[in-house]
A = this chain, B = another copy of it.
Amino acid sequence: VKGVFKIYKKFENLDEEKKNRIINASLEEFSRKGYAGASTNEIVKRAGISKGLLFHYFENKKYLFKYLTDYCIEVTMKDFYERIDNDETDLFEKIKNIMVIKAELLDKYPAIFKFIEVAYLDSSPEAHEIMENRSQEVLNSSIARVFTNIDTSRFKDGFDLEKVINLVLWSLEGYATAEMNKAKLTSTDVDYKKLFEGVDVYINLLKQSFYK
C-alpha cells in the first residue's frame, strides 16, 4: 500500500476479502458497460455492500474509477517487472520473453486486463481525464527500461539500429494483435502455444533480414 493510494486510506485498511469483493465487482461492471454506462447500484449489489459505503470509501464514481486504474496498473506492472529477464541481450528473445509474460499475465488477471483496455479506450470525459497521462507515462517508462541491454553487434552493419528495433517491434505487435483479433472473432480462447509457434516464422524472417 503505497504512493498513489494515500487518498484511499479508508479502503486500503479493509480486510482483503471485502476489498477484493468490491474491486472485482467494480472491475466487472466498468468493463462491461464502460465508465458512463456502469451503475454504482449494480456494483454495490454485486459486492454485497451498502450504497453509502461505496461513497464513504471513494467519495464519487470518478474517484472509484481512478482507484481501479491505479490499482490495475500497479498490480500488472509489478508482476511484469518481476518476471522480466534483464540479462537477455538478444532482441528477439527479449520480445518473445515479453510476449510470454504478457500472455501469462492476461491469463492470471483477465478482469484487470479487460478493465485496463476498456478504461484506456473509454471516451467519456471523466475516463479521459484520468487515463490521459498515466497510460503514456507507463508505456514510455516501460519501453525504455525494457530495451536497454540489447546486444547490437548481431545486426548487419549500416542500419539505423533504433529504426530497426522499431520495425521489429511494430511487426511483432502487429502479429499479436492480428492473432488476438482472430481469436476474438471466433470467440475461442487464445491458444498461446500456437501463438508462439506462429511468431517464430516471422522472427526468422526478420532475423534473415537484419541479423548478420
Q: Name A residues whose Cβ lies closer than 8 Å to a Cβ of B.
A: 31-37, 118, 121-125, 136, 159-160, 163-164, 166-167, 169-175, 178, 181, 185, 201-202, 205-206, 209-210
CB distance from A115 to the nearest CB of B (A): 10
Q: How far is the CA of A181 from the CA of B206 in the complex (A)?
A: 25
Q: Specify which chain B residues have a CB less than 8 angstroms from the CB of A121 in the assembled complex.
A: 121-123
Please give, as numbers and ranges, the residues of chain B lying within 8 Å of A173 by CB-CB distance. Answer: 170, 174
Residues of B within 8 A of A185 (CB): 136
CB distance from A151 to the nearest CB of B (A): 20
* A115 to chain B: closest residue by CB: B123
User: With A and B bound together, what is the CA distance between A201 and B190 in angstroms?
Assistant: 35
Q: How far is the CA of A136 from the CA of B205 in the complex (A)?
A: 27
Q: Name the residue on B nearest A114 (C-beta).
A: B123
Q: List the B side residues contacting A169 at CB < 8 Å.
A: 174
**Complex contact A136–B181 (CB within 8 A):** yes
Chain B residues, Cβ within 8 Å of A32: 123, 125
- Additional A-B contact list (4), CB under 8 Å, known A31-B123, A34-B123, A122-B123: A35-B37, A121-B121, A136-B181, A159-B205
Residues of B within 8 A of A35 (CB): 34, 37
In the complex, A157 Cα to B86 Cα: how many Å?
37
Which residue, of A31, A32, A124, has the highest number of chain B Cβ atoms within 10 A? A124
Whether A205 contacts B167 in the complex (CB less than 8 A), given A33-B36, A37-B36, comes out as yes
Offer 14 A-B interface pairs, CB within 8 angstroms, sorted by A. Answer: A34-B34, A34-B37, A37-B37, A121-B122, A160-B201, A163-B201, A163-B205, A167-B174, A167-B202, A170-B171, A170-B173, A170-B175, A171-B171, A209-B209
